[in-house]
């Protein structure tokens, strides 16, 4: 395993938080894809991907996030992103993905905004 990407998962109520750190690029993005697929296959439906510790994100990583968004939507789930770093926000704006993903400043606000009204 490379040190370039870190992934850690935790539960927060009915949400699954995937904290991503380091660099998400053409080399490391497949590991992010695998982890997201594992989570959905394992039953996770409300997923928050915390990009707060991501130092670099390329188009391959964006493709993986879009793929996860589609898988979760097909399963009546949701994918929210936590992102505050301006270089990353700029990438989401350029690619218009800020119109696709709900983007939040903190994990707590992402979870609060995605609360299940039935709960």
Q: In this chain, which of 9, 45, 52, 100 binds other proteins, going by CB under 8 A?
A: 100
* 114: contact with other proteins by CB under 8 A: no
Q: Return the SS3 of 109.
A: helix
Q: In this chain, which of 70, 106, 112, 113 binds other proteins, going by CB under 8 A?
A: 70
**Token pair belonging to 47:** 């997923």
Answer for the pair 79, 68: CB distance below 8 angstroms, yes or no.
yes
Q: In this chain, which of 10, 14, 34, 95 binds other proteins, going by CB under 8 A?
A: 95
Tell me 100's DSSP state.
Answer: T
Burial 34-72 (b: 16+ CB within 10 A, else e): ebbeebbeeebbbbbbbbbebeebeebbbebbeebbebb
Q: Could you tell me how many residues of this chain bind other proteins (CB under 8 A)?
A: 27
CB of 2 to other proteins, least distance (A): 8
x-or-dash string of contact with other proteins, 25-64, rule CB under 8 A: xxx-----x----------------------x-xxx-xxx
């Amino acid at each position: 395993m490379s040190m370039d990407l870190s992934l850690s998962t935790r539960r927060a109520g009915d949400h699954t938080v995937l904290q991503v750190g380091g660099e998400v690029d053409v080399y490391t993005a497949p590991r992010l894809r695998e982890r997201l697929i594992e989570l959905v296959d394992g039953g996770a439906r409300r997923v928050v991907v915390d990009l707060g510790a991501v130092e670099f994100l390329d188009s391959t990583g964006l493709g993986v996030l879009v793929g996860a968004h589609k898988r979760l939507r097909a399963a009546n789930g949701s994918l929210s992103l936590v992102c505050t770093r301006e270089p990353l926000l700029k990438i989401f704006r350029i690619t218009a993905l800020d119109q696709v993903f709900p983007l939040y400043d903190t994990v707590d606000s992402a979870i609060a905004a995605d609360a299940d009204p039935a709960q």
